[in-house]
A and B are shown apart, each in its own frame.
Chain A
Amino acid sequence: MLVVFIVSTIMFFMFRIVPSDPTVMLVERGISEEARQALLERWGLTGSLWEQYLRYMGGLLVGDFGNSFFYRAPVWDVLLPRIVNTLWIAVPGLLLGALIGATLGMVVGWARRGGAVERGGILIATIIRGTPSFIIGIALLAVFSSWLGWLPGFGMGDSGGATGVMRYLNFNFFIHLILPLLAVIIYFIPENLLLMRSGVVENRTEDYIELVRAKGVSDQRVAWHAGRNSLLPLITWLFPALAETIAGIVVIEIVFSWPGIGRELVLAVTRQDYPVAQAAFFLLAVMIVLANLAADLTYGKLDPRVVYK
């Protein structure tokens, strides 16, 4: 909570320190001085810096981010659908990526040290990890959209007038979802794979693994023990990786013109629409804090040694 507070404070001052007046672009369109003042007032840009700051923080507390300069609408109304769109690719993407990555990491970690599976796995995972997310996106677009022509790679598809939940529950939406989601999954796999692999490699020399082997259970079962124990460090290490992942999603949204919060952030910055940019950044930071909280809770579930009081 404190972290969120500090981040939003830094954010506020970052935007104010830069001397640029959003009304300038409107003034050029021949707006009158009175109208400009009225606009400034409506956007909370009058008064001293401290008054603005207090008003801004007060707004945050009640979930009011102010009004967008560009859309001429409350920021919250602009961003809410964008957040939902982002979650559509982020949540399944992260979960599937973690699942596939952890499974593959277990295989690579359990493979013979120095063998083809281990070396090949590490090499391929490192190369994919070294591939910027937009290049993953471009490659998917080139193969599935341009070359094979199987899937669309632009936007979310026509809503066909559907609103609410129905907006998302139609075939058109799903085929548009596939490529960006796939990009997020691929982007997220190698990190998980490599973390899981080192966890398994570290665990396979532990005493308890030796005893499990001595019990004469199948080799897969032994690997399962090592994998189960490696999940714990995986979850703690995921914390710093998470920030980077959300960063990766921003770029993927741009490549596929997916109208999510990351793309909106970039658009708002280029349009100098500060309330939107500020709020989008704030929400992304909140997402990171929430994801960490989720990681902590999952850890507690998976490790019997952790007791919450």
Chain B
Amino acid sequence: MASSTLVSFISENSMSVTVQDKQDITSPRMFGWFLDPLTMLLRDRFALAGLVVVGVFAGIAIFAPWIATHPPYEAALTPEGRLLRLQLPSSEHYLGTTTFGHDVFSQFIVGFRVAFIVGGLGAIAVGIISTLFGLISGYFGGFIDDVLMRITDVALSIPTLPFAIVAVGLLGPSLNNIILVIALLFWRNGARIIRSAVLTERERVYVKWARAAGASHFHVIFRHVLPNVFRVVFLWVTMSVAFAILTEASLSFIGLGDPSVTSWGQMLNTAFSSGNLRSAWWWVVPPSIALVMLISSLYLIGRAFEEQTNPRLRRT
């Protein structure tokens, strides 16, 4: 009896508040959590440009095997059987060849696919871990929150790339290990950001109301809290794609990339370590520009999100 009285008291109390604050009583509409951020992005011209670049790159990544003209590691030979090394771009090799006679264009095209695999898988892993961390920490609070945030603090003082270097060096340079390291590294900031978003959301009247009406924690989290922090999660996942691609490129450039995969960082590493960085521009420029374009585009999308979600940055 006592508990039901309490419930009715709380709900009555909240009702009186909700009358004044109509926007607060209902959770946003069905697909709003997905459509609102999207329409927001389409209004920002930089973000739009970023979306176009990412879209085109994704298209190339999907159709990479059909676009590439040669197998990436096939050595091109002259009719006499000699290696075609460091050829200038031609109609046979659109972007010339490497010092090992490999077709640069094909390696470059395959690189799109690698970038999206690393970025996509890495960001999904980061997104899941940081969302879980942030949700649990922010929603339940108290002791759980304390423990999880201590862990985050420690994780935050680990230098990113040095950790990645050591971990990949120890575990062995494979794409899976690189993605694992990325997930281990980038959940931490995301967990913090999502946690604070959850904290604000938890205090909203409709969340309290839903709890008072007898909804389970599970229901409240997934039906009410998560859709409303989705914007923040989306922002962090977008940034994570960029971080993942950047980390993979850096590791590959250092020479700790997956040797069986032709990523852009790997191409630059080969050019660098074979001493052709300064002369073979056709080998160096395409992967560099592609990396810059892709990462910048992702940052532009993320920036538009930040600008829109922070009311103090909005234009008056």
Contact = CB atoms under 8 A, between A and B. Distances in A.
A178 interface: no
Contacts of A266: 165, 254-256
Interface residues of B, number: 51
Contacts of B158: 7, 243, 285
A83 interface: no
Interface in A271-301: 277, 280-281, 284-285, 287-289, 292
Given A247-B159, A288-B159, A132 B170 contact: no
A46 to B, nearest CB: 21
The interface centre, meaning the residue of A18, A122, A135, A281 with most chain B CB atoms within 10 A of its CB, is A135
Nearest to B277: A138
Overall SS of chain A's interface: helix
Interface string A95-134: 0000000000000000001100001001100110111111
Contacts of B229: none
A135 B161 contact: no
A48 interface: no
A3 interface: yes
Interface residues of A, number: 57
Given A134-B253, A251-B253, A262-B162, A145 B278 contact: yes
A146 B160 contact: no
Interface string A233-260: 0000000100110111011001100000
Given A18-B171, A142-B278, A270-B255, A132 B249 contact: yes
Interface of A: 3-4, 6-7, 11, 14-15, 18, 113-114, 119, 122-123, 126-127, 129-135, 138-139, 141-142, 145-146, 194, 198, 201-202, 205, 240, 243-244, 246-248, 250-251, 254-255, 262, 265-266, 269-270, 277, 280-281, 284-285, 287-289, 292
Interface of B: 46, 153-154, 156-163, 165-167, 169-171, 189, 242, 246, 249-250, 253-256, 265, 268, 272, 277-279, 281, 284, 288, 291-292, 294-300, 303, 306, 310, 312-313, 315-316
